Chains A and B, each alone.
Chain A
Amino acid sequence: MNHKLEIRNLTKTFNTEEGELKALDNVSIEVKPAEFLCIIGPSGCGKTTLLRMIAGLEHPSSGKIILDGKEVKGPSPDRGMVFQEFSLFPWRTVIKNVTFGLEIQGIGRDERYRIAEKYIELVGLKGFENRYPYELSGGMKQRVAIARALATDPAILLMDEPFGSVDAQTRNALQEELLEIWKRTKKTILFVTHSVDEAVYLADRVAVMSARPGSLVKCLDIDIPRPRKRTSVEANMFREQLLMLLSIERSKASISV
């Protein structure tokens, strides 16, 4: 068994006022240790739902999620999550946001701060330890969120369009930083995005999802050696493939709506 994470026949149906809504349909994926997997798909296809189920914030209607051989039952600090929206605790400074998970685990103050310092440095925010979130830019906030998710040393990092709300240049910088962090920490990363460029630049493998109800259309190995160039010919070929798969899905979505 050399899978870090195994998702088996995962289906999720929501009960809404207009009746049942099938968000995910029979999704199965295996993720290797230290793999960088990007998940891409049309809006509303259930990417966030998938991540939330892995995080334990939502229960599957059927199917299983197995992390390190154990079935996921609820939230736990062994799965770090970076949310799509800003999620820093506004009443805590940068360093206190990063130490939050450690504090809950009952780790002593000095030890907490030592660990937090390490991750704050890793995301390039040294010197900002005592700032409050309102004093930070959007990109900085997401960096803190990443440091906070890493601080408890999770087995896997779940990221839901973490750079969706920052400008293009900051986004490129954050992507590079994330790759550096990934190289240094050897975490398994599941990264949801709707940007084909982002997926091709970051991922070992891209999982393309269908329009709602989301199911897996195709997994694409991005076997471009690293460090990658955003403008290389191979990158362009992968981009084209992904765009085509997505446009097929998008047209299906518009028909079914």
Chain B
Amino acid sequence: MKLPGKDMWLWSVPLAIALLLWEFIAGYVVRDPLLLPRFSAVIFSIYALRGVLISDILVSLLHFGIGLGLAFAAALPLAIAMGWSRSIFKAIDPIIEVLRPIPPLAWIPIAMVWFHLTHYAAGFIIFIGAFFPILLDSYTGFRDVPRVLVETGKVLGCIRDRKLIKYVAFPYALPFVATGTRVGMGVGWMCVVAAEMFGVSDSGLGYRLFQKFYFLHQMDYVVAYMLVLGLVALCLDRLFRHFVEDRLFKWKRGIVK
């Protein structure tokens, strides 16, 4: 999974070829920066943006952090309750199933009237996007705790549900929670752009991208923001894998790999 190392040639050569191809096609075939800006122009734009880029990345990360944090804090207890108790699941599942298919972007007007132009408006959209993946994967984990492990826990002294959840269900479900969080992060990041683009924010990467396009048609800047969005997401995912999945789930190796 690590990028550097002995497989370096395996990915760096195709990547270089793809970039050269881009540069060539944009410069000599398309020859219209509005349709396809050159790679070198995009790099130059990123360089030109160096002063403002960091603050926009931070604003977007703030929106992302608010949404993801709240989604996690809300989804986890609910997942535990639904996975652990069949009747709680039956009571809540219909509500979830009605809300879940609503695209996060459809909530934008509501976010605007509830939170106006605060960071919480964008955070709310990201919350909606990240909440359901985290909830559903975690719920699966808590639901599927093998019976024999629960009973082993009981026989060894976890008489009350609270202890069983803490010592048996939670560690068992943790990889599921992590998977859900990772998926939720992906969806959440898509929502960052959309939320900022469609007017619940007056800063952030998504907002800037749309400004460059809508008012100025500066496609090299648009693509520059696109690249930055992709790279930030890549970093987030790698960090998550490195700090959460690889460290916490040594015991899963025998099962998944």
Contact = CB atoms under 8 A, between A and B. Distances in A.
Contacts, number: 74
A81 to B, nearest CB: 5
Given A83-B148, A83-B152, A90-B255, A132 B250 contact: yes
A79 B163 contact: no
B28 interface: no
Given A85-B148, A132-B250, A134-B253, A91 B155 contact: no
A104 B158 contact: yes
Of listed B172, B254, B255, residue having the most chain A CB within 10 A: B254
B151 A100 contact: no
Interface stretch (A70-78, A116-124, A208-216): A70-78
Contact of B156 (A56, A91, A133, A148): A148
B114 interface: no
A46 interface: no
Contacts of B172: 89, 91
Contact of A104 (B156, B171, B174, B255): B156
A81 B150 CA distance: 13
A41 interface: no
B156 A57 contact: no
Q: What secondary structure prevails in chain A residues at the interface with B?
A: loop
A89 B155 contact: no
The CB with the most chain B CB atoms within 10 A, among A83, A91, A92, A103, is that of A91
29 contacts: A55-B155, A56-B154, A57-B154, A57-B155, A74-B159, A75-B151, A75-B154, A75-B155, A75-B159, A76-B159, A79-B155, A83-B151, A87-B152, A89-B149, A90-B252, A91-B171, A91-B174, A101-B157, A104-B156, A104-B163, A132-B254, A134-B251, A134-B253, A134-B254, A135-B254, A148-B156, A149-B155, A152-B156, A152-B157
Interface of B: 148-149, 151-159, 163, 167-168, 171-172, 174, 250-255
